Chains A and B, each alone.
Chain A
Amino acid sequence: MNPSTEPQHPGTADVEVVIIGTGFGGLAMGAQLKRHGRESFVLLERADDVAGTWRDNTYPGAACDVPSHLYSFSFRPNPEWSRFFSPGPEILQYLRDTAHAEGLLPHIRFGTNVEDARWDAAAQRWTVTTSQGVFTGRFLVTATGHLSDEALPPIKGLDGFTGDVFHSARWNHEVPLEGKRIGVIGSGATAVQLVPELAKTASELVVFQRSAQYVTPRPDRAYTESEKQLFRRDPDAMADHRSEIFWFLESRYAERRAVPDILDKARSQALNHLERQVKDPELRARLTPDYELGCKRVLISDTYYPALTRDNVTLEASALDHVEGSKAISRDGNTYELDVLVFCTGFETAEPPYARLVHDANGISLSDHWAQGMEAFASTTVAGFPNLFIINGPNTGLGHNSIVYIIEAQVDYILGALDWSRANGNHVLDVSARAQERYVDELQQRSDGTVWLSNGCKSWYIDPRSGRLTLIWPNFAHEFRYRNGTFDSAPYTAAETSAAR
C-alpha cells in the first residue's frame, strides 16, 4: 500500500487541530485523537509518504538501535518484528500500516510543505500557510522531528567534486557503489550501520572520523516462528517482553548520571569490545574516545570495528577538510582519490527548522524567541505561543531509551490539554513564563553531575550558544511521563499568563 495514492485536498481548511509531520510523533498524535473520538484534524506532510525518519533513511544497513518491541507504539504492539533490532524498511512498513489501520490517511495532506504558522490573537486560531494553501486551527502541534533536516558541513571545493555526493538521509540509489572508491564523512550512529555494508563491495572505503565513538556489542537476533506465534496468541507475553527491554535500558540511565561503579563497568564493556575486535594497537588508539561514555550517543555494532580492519578500508582519524577535483583532503593533510562522498554528518539540531516557521501574535518567531537555546514548559509548550504543542522538541531526547515512549507521554499531555480547554469554554492555553522558567531551571539543576556536562564533553545535545542541555531529557524516561505525561491546568491559568510578556 502506498499512502501517497490517496487523493489530495488542496485549498483552505479550518480544523480543530493542525499537526505538522507524519513520523512517529505525528502518527501517534493523530491516532490518539482518532481513538478519543476527535475527528477535526489534519496532518500536513511535505513528503509523499508517512514515517519521516524511516522514509528518508534508506541507506544500506539502516535499522533501529533501540529494540523493536520497545521502539514502536505501546498501543500498536507488533508480533511480527523479525529481529530484536528490525531493519529500516520494516519500521517504514509498520508506520504505513499504522497510518492505514488507525484511519489516518483521509486526514493526511501529502506534498504539503508548511511555510509559515502564526497565532491570530483575535480569532484565537493558528494560521498555517503551506505550499498547498492555508489551514487554520485552534491548536497547532509540531511533530517535525529533531533529526529530519540534514546537516552538511561547509566543505571548500565540494561543488567541484568530480564524483557523486549525497547525505545518508537522502540516499541516491541511482549511484552504483560496487567497486567504487567511497568516502564516508562522519563516524556516528549512521556511519556505524553503513560502513560494514559499503565495505563489502567498495574497492576502497575511507572513513573520515572527527572524533572516536564508544561502540558496544549489539545483541541482535531473529525472533523464532514460535516466539512470534506466542506473541500473536498471548499479547501479555509481548507486553512483558516490552517491559523487560524498557527496564533494562532504563537501568542504564545510571551511566549518564555518572554513578562511578556503573559508568566504569559500561566503559570497560565498550573498551573490551574494541580490544577484542581490533588487534592493531595503532588502529585501536585511533578508535579510543577521549571523552566520557554517554556524552555522545553510545553506538551498538558487532560489525563496525571488523569492517575497519579490512584491507579495503582506511580509518582517517581527522575530519574532511576540503576537496580538489576528485581528491578529498583531510584536516591532517592526507589525500584520497575518491568516486563517491557520503555525508553521515547528522542533522540540524540546536536550532530546529520548525522554529523559524512558527510565530507568536506579534510576528516574533520561535527561533528568535529561542536565541539563547530552545526551552519549553513540560518540554511541550512555550510561553507566548498559545495553543502550540511541540512533540519531540526541547529536552525530550534520550541517550538510553526509546523516544517513542517520550512521544506517547507528550501525546497524553496534549490530549489532556485539549479536553481541559474544551471543558472550559475553549480556554486558550498560554503557559506562564514563570512556570516555564522554573521548569527549565530545575532541568538544568538536574543535569549537573551527568556525563553530558562532564569535562571535555562536546555533543549536539548541548546548545553551543548557552552551553545548556537543550535536547536531552536529563533523567529517567519514566520520570518524563510522571512529570509531563498528565496535563495540569494550573500553569495555564495563572494571572501572569501572557500579560507578563
Chain B
Amino acid sequence: MSRTELAGGVVEGTITVDGVEVRYFDSVADHFATGESSRHPLVLVHGTGGSTRAHYGYLFPLLAGRQRVVAVDFAPPVPTQGPLTLEHLERQVVAVLDAVLPDRPVTLVGYSLGAVVAAAVAARHPQTVRNLVLVAGWMKTDAHQELRNKVWQRLREERSQALGDYMAFCAFSGPFLVASQALGDSSPALTAFEPNAFTDVQMKLNRTIDISGLVPSIAATTLVIGCTHDQMVPKWHSKALFASIPDARYTEITSGHAVVIERPAQLVQIIDQFTDAPSRDAAGDIVATARP
C-alpha cells in the first residue's frame, strides 16, 4: 500500500489485490458529509481501455467540490490467474472501497465496462452501494456489440492503420465530430488512442458479459444514463438496465459513447443533481434533460 499527496489535496494511493497493485485517487475533503444536504462519497469506475485520467479527468475535479470523490484505476491481473473476469475487476473496486471508505455507504458511478462492474458490485454489496449511476452500461452483450467487437479484433490483429479511425468513428457521435471540426477543436481525444495488452483482455471480456441474473437484485437508488447516439453500447442496453433494476430512473444525453468527452459538463450536472436528491425522480421515471 502507498499514499502520495498530489496537487489540490488529492491523494494517490495503491493497494494490492490478487497480487497486483491497484491505483486509486481520493479527493479526501468531505464536503457536505453531514448536515442538511449530506452526501455519500462518489466512487468512479472507468470503462474499457480507460483510467481515472482518461475517463474522469473532467468529472473528478468538478465533482470533488461537492462531495468526496474516489476513483479506481483497473490493473491487469497476473496472467497466470487465467483470463480476465468480471470478478477480478469487482474485487479491485471492493478492495478500494474497503481500504479508503471502510463502512461508509457510497454512490457508485460506472461508465461503459465500469458500469457493468459497478452494477455487479452494487448487487452483491447493497449495504455499501446506496446509490448507483450507470453511464452507457449494459448487462448482456448482444449480436450488435459482438459484430463491432469482431471488427475491432480483426483490425487489431492485422495491425491496421484504420484501427484509430474506426475507434473514433465508434466512440464519437456524428454531430460531435462535425461540430468539433467546425470549431477547429481537434481535441487530443480524437487522435488515435493506443490499445495495449490490457485493452485486449478487456475487449475479450466485453464479448461475454452477462449479469442479467444479478441486475434485478440491485437495491440501490439507481440512475441509468443512456447516450442517444451511442454506437458501442447503444441506448437500448441502458433501457434494459432501467427496466431490470427495481429502483431505477432513466435519462438520456445527446452524445455518442464518448460522453465523458462530448458532454462532460452535462454529465456533471446530472450526477450532481442526482446525488443531491437521489429519489427526487420516482423509480420508473424517464427524466427529460433540461433544455438550456
Contacts and interface: CB of A to CB of B under 8 A. Distances in A.
Interface in B1-58: 7-8, 57-58
Interface in A239-269: 239-240, 242-244, 246-248, 250-251, 253-254, 257, 259-262
Nearest to A242: B292
A481 B291 CA distance: 11
The interface size bin for chain B is 20 to 34
Given A219-B182, A260-B7, A478-B265, A254 B61 contact: yes
A501 interface: no
Interface stretch (B87-95, B104-112, B143-151, B266-274): B266-274
A83 to B, nearest CB: 13
Contact of A253 (B254, B265, B292): B265
Given A219-B182, A221-B182, A240-B254, A251 B292 contact: no
B176 to A, nearest CB: 8
A476 B183 contact: no
A253 B254 CA distance: 20
A70 B291 CA distance: 11
B288 interface: no
Nearest to B255: A247
Contact of B61 (A74, A259, A446): A259
Interface in B245-270: 254, 263-266, 268-269
Interface in B152-211: 175, 179, 182-184
Most buried by B among A239, A251, A481, A482: A251
A242 B265 CA distance: 15
B266 A250 contact: yes
Give the secondary structure class of A's interface: helix
A363 interface: no
Interface residues of A, number: 31
A217 interface: yes
A251 B264 contact: yes
A244 B175 contact: yes
Contacts of B290: 478, 481
A446 B65 contact: yes
A54 interface: no
Given A74-B291, A482-B273, A244 B61 contact: no
A264 to B, nearest CB: 12
14 contacts: A70-B292, A221-B182, A244-B179, A247-B265, A251-B58, A251-B264, A253-B62, A253-B265, A259-B62, A261-B57, A446-B65, A477-B292, A478-B292, A482-B269
B62 A257 contact: yes
B181 to A, nearest CB: 10
Interface of A: 70, 74, 217, 219, 221, 239-240, 242-244, 246-248, 250-251, 253-254, 257, 259-262, 405, 446, 449, 476-479, 481-482
Contacts of A70: 292
Nearest to B61: A259
B184 A246 contact: no
Nearest to B59: A254
Contacts of A221: 182
Give the secondary structure class of B's interface: helix
Given A242-B292, A259-B58, 16 more contacts: A74-B292, A219-B184, A239-B291, A240-B254, A243-B292, A246-B292, A251-B58, A251-B265, A254-B265, A449-B65, A478-B265, A478-B266, A478-B269, A479-B269, A481-B290, A482-B269
A138 B175 CA distance: 48
Contacts of A250: 265-266
Given A70-B292, A74-B292, A248 B62 contact: no
A242 B254 CA distance: 12
A93 to B, nearest CB: 23
Interface string B276-292: 00000000000000111
B36 to A, nearest CB: 11
B242 to A, nearest CB: 22
B58 A248 contact: no
B254 A248 contact: no
Contacts of A247: 263, 265-266, 292
B184 A217 contact: yes
Contacts of A217: 184
Contacts of A479: 269, 272
Contacts of A449: 8, 65
A240 B229 CA distance: 13
A257 B61 contact: yes
Contacts of B62: 253-254, 257, 259
A490 B24 CA distance: 41
Contacts of B182: 219, 221
A446 B32 CA distance: 13
A255 to B, nearest CB: 11
A256 B137 CA distance: 31
A477 B265 CA distance: 10
B58 A405 contact: no
B25 to A, nearest CB: 14
